[in-house]
Chains A and B, each alone.
Chain A
Amino acid sequence: MKKRNIDEYEHFRPEIQPIILVSHISENFKSLEVLKDNDLYVYQGQVIAIIGPSGSGKSTLLRCINQLETVKSGDIYYKNKCITQGTVKINDVRKRIGMVFQHFNLFPHLTVLENITLAPTHLKKIPKEQANALAETLLTRVRLLDKRDVYPSMLSGGQKQRVAIARAFSMEPDVILFDEPTSALDPEMVGEVLNVIKDLAKTGITMIIVTHEMGFAREVATKVVFMDEGCIIAKDTPQKMFDKPENERIKSFLAKVL
Chain B
Amino acid sequence: MDSIIHMWNQYNSLFIKGSLTTLVLSLISVVTAMLLGSILAFMKLSSYAPLRWVSNVYVEFIRGTPLMVQIALVFYGLPYLGINIPPITLFGMDFARLLSGVLALTINSSAYVCEIVRGGILSIGKGQMEAARSLGFDKTSSMILVVMPQAIKNILPSLGNEFISLIKNSSQVSVIGIAELMYTSDTIRGISFKPFEPLVIISVIYFIMTFIISLGVKVIEKKMAKST
> Footprint of B on A, CB under 8 Å?
66, 68, 91-92, 94-95, 97-99, 101, 103, 105-109, 118-119, 122-123, 151, 153, 167-168, 170-171
Contacts and interface: CB of A to CB of B under 8 A. Distances in A.
B96 to A, nearest CB: 45
Contact of B135 (A108, A109, A151, A167): A167
B167 to A, nearest CB: 31
A101 B127 contact: yes
A66 B134 contact: yes
A29 to B, nearest CB: 15
B228 A103 contact: no
Q: Is the interface of B mostly helix, strand, loop or mixed?
A: helix
Given A107-B146, A109-B150, A118-B145, A94 B228 contact: no
Interface string B129-152: 011111111100100011001100
B227 interface: yes
B46 interface: no
A105 B135 contact: no
A153 B127 CA distance: 16
Nearest to B132: A107
Contacts of B141: 122
Nearest to B130: A68
B203 interface: no
Interface in B203-218: none
B228 A109 contact: yes
Contacts of B130: 68, 99, 101, 105
Nearest to A106: B131
A108 B150 contact: yes
B134 A99 contact: yes
**Interface size range on B against A:** 10 to 19
Contacts of B149: 109
A171 B135 contact: yes
A103 B131 CA distance: 10
Given A101-B127, A101-B131, A122-B141, A108 B228 contact: yes
B128 interface: yes
B137 A123 contact: yes
B150 A94 contact: no
Contacts of B145: 118, 122
A79 to B, nearest CB: 16
Which of B128, B136, B149 lies at the interface centre, i.e. has the most chain A CB atoms within 10 A of its CB? Answer: B136
Given A105-B127, A109-B228, A122 B133 contact: no
A94 B134 contact: yes
Contacts of B135: 94-95, 98, 118-119, 123, 167, 170-171
Contacts of A168: 134
Contacts of B228: 108-109, 151, 153
Contacts of A92: 136
Given A109-B149, A118-B145, A122-B145, A94 B131 contact: no
B137 A122 contact: yes
A103 B137 contact: no
A184 to B, nearest CB: 11
Contacts of B150: 107-109
Given A118-B145, A122-B145, A107 B128 contact: yes
Nearest to A120: B135
B131 A107 contact: yes
A87 B131 CA distance: 23
A105 B141 CA distance: 17
Nearest to A94: B136
